[in-house]
Chains A and B, each alone.
Chain A
């Protein structure tokens, strides 16, 4: 609940204040957004499973975003940024899909 309220506050603030992300961080934004999506789907599924916990959700959210961005950063430094980005997207994409499938089973019982 706390997490949901906080997220809504953050989203509204973001829409109203329209902060700009520093240019240096921009390469990591797509991956960060995918990681955020993964955390959101995970949280939603946990909610439906009755396991949801604010702290776990937020910590996984934060670590997801940071780790994903860090992997891309590392990849860029090593010259394999594109490949590592693909790897991250594949992994997170699979997780998003299976979580979405679990959510679907919860909601539609099918």
Chain B
């Protein structure tokens, strides 16, 4: 090694802050200047300035190592995209699988509840026609049986801003509270049966948001238009609905967020039923253990804003 005698290094008073000082004053590593000075001195003194043997090999190795390190680090930082894509694919597959599973189970549930209903009908029709009638009426009220009749159709559509590709505006979407407001107004206006996008509302229904989707009874509704159908006397319904707060609310939604809404009376609506519902905890008071789950008449007026009980209301989806 031919390293020349090191000149006594000047210590700066702020040496502990070299990094900051360097950043502010001289971005170039001061080592370069020192080394250049040393070389110049060596040249003046007539000493050879080149490197030899071991030193060259060491530097070469160090440089190769650093190059390798940097390149593999850079590669590693670019690489994970493949992993992310693969993980995403797995998740997508799982979603599709589960969805088909849910669909087949829902189909089975619908078939089974149809069968139950048929059996109930045939059994009761011969033995106790009175009970069958009560059962059917209760089914209409509780939402377990399909119904048809005249009524009102209210539809809400997401504003245009929610559809824009570049910058979807979440506030222009229809929210659960909007649907709840309309549904509650319809119940209050005397509707006898209400459905949201073919999801019949029962005493156990909940309308709520999960992320951007509106769920009714845990079934996500496909947007962007939500159709709320209510059966009742069209004229009375319309008058009472118009007197409620809902139209003003919808008007506000329309003017502020561009959410479109319309109200049309219809002479013939048919709403699906949700089939038999299982009550896990509630039993008719006084009737002891002989309660029959699924058809105890409840006040369906308050059926809209509950967020309880995962009611098993699988049914056909449109």
On whether the beta carbons of B77 and A11 are closer than 8 Å, the reply is no
> Which among A21, A26, A30, A53 has the highest number of chain B CB atoms within 10 Å?
A53
Chain B CB within 8 A of A84 CB? no
Interface residues of B in 44-60 (CB under 8 A from A): 51, 55-56, 59-60
Q: Which residues of A contact B71 (CB under 8 A)?
A: 10-11, 14-15
Q: How far is the CA of A36 from the CA of B35 in the complex (A)?
A: 21
What are the interface flags for B69-112 relative to A under an 8 Å C-beta threshold, 1 for contact and 0 otherwise? 11111111100000000000000000000000000000000000
Which residue of A6, A19, A36 is within 8 Å of B59 (Cβ)? A6
Interface residues of A in 23-65 (CB under 8 A from B): 26, 29-30, 32-33, 36, 42, 45-46, 49-62, 65
On whether the beta carbons of A19 and B68 are closer than 8 Å, the reply is yes
What are the interface flags for B1-35 relative to A under an 8 Å C-beta threshold, 1 for contact and 0 otherwise? 00000000000000000011011000111011111
Chain A CB within 8 A of B65 CB? yes
Q: Which residues of A contact B43 (CB under 8 A)?
A: none
Q: How far is the CA of A53 from the CA of B19 in the complex (A)?
A: 20
On whether the beta carbons of B72 and A58 are closer than 8 Å, the reply is no
Q: Which residues of B contact A7 (CB under 8 A)?
A: 63-64, 66-67
On whether the beta carbons of A33 and B77 are closer than 8 Å, the reply is yes
With A9-B63, A91-B19, A94-B23 already in contact, the answer to whether A102 and B28 are too (CB < 8 A) is yes
Report 26 cross-chain contacts, Cβ distance below 8 Å, ordered by A residue: A6-B62, A7-B67, A9-B64, A10-B68, A11-B70, A13-B67, A13-B68, A14-B69, A14-B71, A18-B75, A19-B72, A20-B72, A21-B76, A29-B73, A30-B77, A46-B29, A46-B32, A54-B63, A55-B59, A56-B32, A56-B34, A60-B31, A62-B62, A65-B70, A91-B19, A91-B20
Besides the contacts A13-B64, A26-B76, A49-B32, what 4 more A-B pairs have beta carbons closer than 8 Å? A10-B70, A11-B67, A55-B59, A58-B63
